[in-house]
Amino acid sequence: MNSKVRLIPLGGLGEIGKNMTCIEYDDEIILIDCGIMFPENDMLGVDYIIPDYNYLMDKLDRIKAVLFTHGHEDHVGAVTHLMQDVKAPIYATPLTAGLLRVKLKNAQLLGETTIHEMQAGDTLNIGQFTIEPFHMAHSIPDCVGFGITTPAGLIVHSGDYKFDHTPVDGWPPDFAKLAEFSQRGVLCLLADSTNATRRGWTQSETLITDAMDEVFEAADGRIIVATFASLISRIQQVGDAAIKHGRKMAVVGRSMKDNVRMALEMGYLDLPEDLIVDLDTARKLGNSKIVYMVTGSQGEPTSVVGRLAWNRSRSLTLEAGDTVVLSAHTIPGNEETVTRIINRLFHLGANVVYEDLTNVHVSGHASREEMKLLINLVRPRYLIPVHGELRHLMAHGQLGQDMGIPEENIAIIENGTPVEMDANELVIHERLKGGYIYIDGSGQVGDVTRRVLRDRERLADSGFFVMGVPTKGREVTGKIEFITRGFLNLEDELFNGTETVIREIVQRHGSKKTGDQLTHLIEEAVIRHLHEETGKRPFVFVILK
């Protein structure tokens, strides 16, 4: 028997250990989170990416629990994939459980899944593991980290966190629990590295209260606030500002509506019933009497803000004099889309308030001074930076070293790299095989491969050029059919030139070659011809008729 505890980050794209972490002791496994990542701009056509948990497929019966830290998509979004394979119970705090139930219900998996609601402060005995969820502040309520006691020692997992002393829901992080872990002795700390290159201390969510107040003070016309549907605390702050400035609030967009309803029912939003009005009522109110709470802070074209910017919304049309507030951080990769939307909204006559000059958003993740505090509170033997790209983990690891943790006690690992540890040593093993799992369209694993993505990239650059060529012996016997898309706007000119090339090839080789050989010869000649004429290399195919 291996007396060490074994840990593997099984993330998706880019960030390490963010979407899923596997912890094993003896023959028992627990999983933490199961989220999705959004594809990078050059992963063409891909909807999202799920963690590669192929490693678990021959160990499914050893999985004892799936624990969730909080309800953001990058931590819960792949649950409907995982629960098709895993039959272990889920453990989550009430809000997170509520969000999971919606997903599982839509995927018709709710009936066969067990969900245990837990509270921060509980102690759960799961096999040889003792799990202690503890409260952390982040940008969604009901967020926890975990103390995980194993026979090899105590592992502390921070979850996504910031040390916000004045969070909007009034529930600060559980410093006492962290200190208590420290007194018991912590083998290993897994800590959020998202802002490891950001100096200082992340500002409190309450800072936004003042910024919103200024925006509401200055605005004469309608106010439209866009944020993530899951950013419950932001909705609370906008609601509070609306009350203070005598406005009603209308919620637009399905996900935003669903979340507001659930948060009100479960008590995570504290707003009077008559504050929220429907769209018809909202339209009848004066422009200075209403604030719209909408989705689309990332510039998604199908979101409310996206449709507003391109004049495609049925429920809401932008008017000159509107104030649009983008109250969210731009996710890396979305910068271009978001700035384009901002420019469009200005173009339409709106006043746009966004991160650059006004404090309408603060990060939900700890900055470097908070990371230092966490390390000093927990005083772990080993530090494993997680939740960040490799460059963030490197910066976090260096910070750990600067604070006196020996270099050999810090594991900078990538997704799929197992680590084993006990009080004596920390061993980093060979990375498991695996990679990204793309989900596209049908939602089935394996439909999109590296090859498909490479082909899409070439199509995106140069399109395709297909010809139906009627031949008999050495002659082209009829009209050549050309089908091309995404290439160049030069059809007539290129069709004529290509036809000459084809006739020549058929004349020279038509009687001597098989159909496959002739097809190949024509394709080669046309590729060469098109490249000479245009400098581009579209996909070229011939169908002989």
Residue with tokens 């502390």: 156
Q: How far is the CB of 380 from its own copies (least distance, A)?
A: 23
Compute how many other C-beta atoms are within 10 angstroms of the C-beta atom of residue 350: 22
* 431 touches 416 (CB < 8 A): yes
- Whichever of 235 and 383 has its CB closer to its own copies, that residue is 383
- Whichever of 175 and 541 has its CB closer to its own copies, that residue is 541
Q: How far is the CB of 404 from its own copies (least distance, A)?
A: 20
Query: SS3 for 251?
Result: strand
Q: How far is the CB of 385 from its own copies (least distance, A)?
A: 12
- Whichever of 196 and 223 has its CB closer to its own copies, that residue is 196
DSSP secondary structure, 67-113, as one string: E-S---HHHHTTHHHHTTT--SPEEE-HHHHHHHHHHHHHTT-STT-
At residue 144, what is the residue type?
Answer: V
Pairing type for strands 248-251 and 290-294 reads parallel
Report how far residue 508's alpha carbon sits from residue 340's, in angstroms, rounded to the nearest whole number: 54
Q: How far is CA 111 from the centre of its chain?
A: 27
Report how far residue 533's alpha carbon sits from residue 526's, in angstroms, rounded to the nearest whole number: 10
- Whichever of 186 and 324 has its CB closer to its own copies, that residue is 324
Query: SS3 for 349?
Result: coil
Q: How far is the CB of 193 from its own copies (least distance, A)?
A: 13
Q: How far is the CB of 484 from its own copies (least distance, A)?
A: 9
- Whichever of 258 and 455 has its CB closer to its own copies, that residue is 455
What residues contact residue 532 under an 8 Å CB cut-off, 6+ apart?
Answer: none
Binding footprint of its own copies on the chain (CB under 8 A): 14, 40-42, 44-45, 197-199, 332-333, 335-336, 339-340, 342-343, 346-347, 352, 354, 356-357, 389-391, 394-395, 414, 440-443, 446-449, 451-452, 455-464, 466, 468, 481, 483, 485-490, 533-536, 539, 541, 543-545
- Known catalytic residues are 192, 365
- Whichever of 315 and 337 has its CB closer to its own copies, that residue is 337
* 146 touches 122 (CB < 8 A): no
Report how far residue 157's alpha carbon sits from residue 479's, in angstroms, rounded to the nearest whole number: 69
Q: How far is the CB of 391 from its own copies (least distance, A)?
A: 5
Q: How far is the CB of 275 from its own copies (least distance, A)?
A: 31
- Whichever of 275 and 527 has its CB closer to its own copies, that residue is 527
For residue 295, give Cα distances in angstroms to 230, 265, 275, 354, 535. Answer: 10, 21, 19, 14, 43
- How would you label 233-256 residue by residue, b for 16+ Cβ within 10 Å and e otherwise? bbbbbbbbbbeebebbbbbbbeeb
